[in-house]
A = this chain, B = another copy of it.
Amino acid sequence: MAFQLPEYAAPDFTGPDFADRPLAAFHPAPKDGVSPKNFHATAIFPEYYQVASGVWKLPGHSRMDCVAVLEPDGEISVREPRSLKKGERVACGRGEDGQDGIYVHTAPFGATLGSCEKFAFRTRMSRESSFSIDYDELYALLEYERDHGRIIWVAGPAAVFDHDARKAFTRLVERGYVHGLLAGNALATHDLEAAYLGTALGQDIYSKKSPPLGHYNHLDLLNVVRDCGSIKAAMKAGLIKDGIMKAVIEHEVPYVLAGSIRDDGPLPEVIADAYAAQDAMRAVVREATTVIALATQLHSIAVGNMTPSYTVTDAGVIRPVYFYAVDMSEFVVNKLANRGSLAAKSILTNVQDFLVTTERSLSGGI
């Protein structure tokens, strides 16, 4: 199975449907971080704003539940409302078919993405769905994206609690299949704990034995990295012999570790401010062509919220952004769908198996 990039079905704004449509209205933000009344909120789809008669502009980067700002240079940027400055000009109007000068393009890639049939199918997705074709499509996609796209991984700590899964993930980094990593303090801490002491939360990641005082292990790891000043410094000090964080840093893969109220430590690189972390994450997601979210409800939903269904490449090509959620729980996967991230594909399984199987099935790299 070879991956074929679907072609973008550009709307024809010269057609009769778009005749006599008004220009999009842009009203000033009344205060910092506050939108004007009747603001338009973005969805995951390409959206066009008529800024001059017959000129419909598509923002290069979008995401849902944000506002569209007409920048001084005449471009449209999609921004979180909290980042608005007083007086910035925000698109207003909630019609989606051009009646307010805004057009939401819900079928940008024909039937390939988000067709009605697929939506219908996904609503009944369960652990008993057949996933063979999803795996095959995913392998083909990843092999394509390794060279022509950017694959961003979102991962909860389950990805490092298991010896083989952690090794497979590390290999994926080394083989060029990871162009960004979005995670929390826990993933990095337990990955580094495994590198430093062989355990995760005090339990050997292979034998599952718990050494005496093993519950100190993650605290000792956190303390020693904080003492070094950074993960990289701990690596230079020879404390980190293997693992995902080591591979990510050595291969200069961008990563964001977002802080949370569950954290011990935290590691020095963790971003404490949730909204600064969102900004850093979105900067990585902005470049994404495929996102794979593994076993983390918090991060999957956070990244799902900021991942659009399309992106515009440097060469100006409009193409889909693929989103996969891998989790054990129908609830998590449905929750993602309930928030409007309809383009997500789901594979219901243990991420341990997912990582080992996927790494083993991919060709290419190294």
Contacts and interface: CB of A to CB of B under 8 A. Distances in A.
A46 to B, nearest CB: 18
B206 A132 contact: yes
Interface string A298-316: 1101100100000000000
Interface in A259-309: 259-266, 272-278, 281, 297-299, 301-302, 305
A345 to B, nearest CB: 11
Nearest to A32: B226
A309 to B, nearest CB: 16
A158 B323 CA distance: 25
B352 A328 contact: no
Interface stretch (A9-17, A123-131, A145-153, A240-248): A123-131
B299 A297 contact: no
B207 A133 contact: yes
A33 interface: yes
Contact of A127 (B207, B209, B216, B350): B350
Given A121-B208, A213-B94, A163 B132 contact: yes
Point out which of A30, A274, A348 has the most chain B C-beta atoms below 10 A from its C-beta.
Answer: A274
Nearest to A334: B126
Given A335-B126, A353-B350, A354-B353, A298 B157 contact: no
B353 A349 contact: yes
Given A223-B81, A350-B131, A258 B258 contact: no
A325 to B, nearest CB: 14
Contacts of A278: 261, 263
A227 B34 contact: yes
A251 interface: no
Contacts of A123: 123-124
Interface in A346-366: 348-350, 352-354, 356-357, 360
Nearest to A337: B124
Nearest to A204: B130
A106 interface: no
Given A65-B264, A206-B133, A265-B82, A158 B277 contact: no
Given A213-B94, A223-B81, A357-B357, A130 B262 contact: no
Contact of A259 (B34, B128, B274): B274
A130 B260 contact: no
Nearest to A130: B162
Contacts of A121: 208
Given A124-B123, A261-B298, A265-B82, A34 B223 contact: yes
Interface of A: 30-31, 33-35, 39, 41, 65, 81-82, 94, 117, 121, 123-124, 126-133, 135, 157-158, 161-165, 200-201, 203-209, 213, 215-216, 219, 222-223, 226-227, 258-266, 272-278, 281, 297-299, 301-302, 305, 328-331, 334-335, 337-340, 348-350, 352-354, 356-357, 360
8 contacts: A35-B223, A131-B162, A260-B302, A328-B348, A329-B329, A329-B331, A349-B349, A356-B357
